[in-house]
Amino acid sequence: MAYRTLSQYLSQQEGNLTAELAAVIEQIATTTQIIDQDLQKGALAGVLGSAGHENVQGETQKKLDVISNDHLIEALQSHPNVAGLASEELDEFTPAQNGGQYLVLFDPLDGSSNIDINMCVGTIFSILPAVNSPAQADDFLQAGTQQVAAGYVLYGPSTMLVLTVGAGVVFFTFDPESKTFLLTSEKVAVAADTQEYAINASNQRHWEAPVKRYIDELQAGKTSVRGKDFNMRWVACMVGDIHRILCRSGIFLYPYDLKDPNKAGRLRLMYEANPMSMLIEQAGGASTTGRVRIMEIQPTELHQRVPVVIGSKNEVDLVTQYHH
Domain of residue 291, CATH code: 3.40.190.80
Domain co-membership, 68 together with 142: yes
Which pLDDT does position 65 carry in this prediction?
86
| CATH number of the domain to which 42 belongs | 3.30.540.10
Rounded (10°) CA dihedral 267, 272, 274, 278: -130
Q: How many domains is the chain partitioned into structurally?
A: 2
Distances (CA, A) of 313 to 36, 217, 277, 310, 320: 33, 17, 12, 8, 10
> Domain check: are 40 and 143 in the same one?
yes
**DSSP annotation of 112:** G
Residue stretches of the chain with pLDDT short of 50: 51
* 113 belongs to an annotated ligand binding site: yes
How would you classify the pairing of strands 308-311 and 286-288?
A: antiparallel
Q: Please indicate if the annotation marks 88 as binding a ligand.
A: yes
151 is in an annotated binding site: no
Looking at the structure, do residues 148 and 68 belong to the same domain, yes or no?
yes
The domain containing residue 294 runs over which residues? Answer: 196-323
Provide the pLDDT for residue 47: 60
> Tell me, what's the pLDDT at 258?
85
Apex 72 CA angle, 288 and 185, nearest 5: 55
Consult the annotation and say whether 111 binds a ligand: yes
Q: 95-131: b or e for each residue (b if 16 or more CB lie within 10 Å)? A: bbeebbbbbbbbbbbbbbebbeeeebbbbbbbbbebb
- 107 assigned ligand-binding residue: yes
Report whether 68 belongs to an annotated binding site. Answer: no
112 marked as binding residue: yes
- Do 44 and 174 fall into the same domain? yes
pLDDT, residue 40, reads 86
Query: Is 272 flagged in the annotation as binding?
Result: yes
> Do 201 and 181 reside in the same domain of the chain?
no
C-alpha distances out from residue 104 to 25, 127, 181, Å: 10, 5, 20
Alpha-carbon gap, residue 253 to 272, rounded angstroms? 13
Q: What does the pLDDT look like over 208-262, one tens digit per residue? A: 999 999 999 999 999 989 999 999 999 999 999 999 999 999 999 999 988 887 7
pTM: 0.94
Q: What angle do CA 264, 267, 268 make, to 5 degrees?
A: 95
pLDDT given for residue 118 in this prediction: 84
Residue 91 known to bind ligand: no
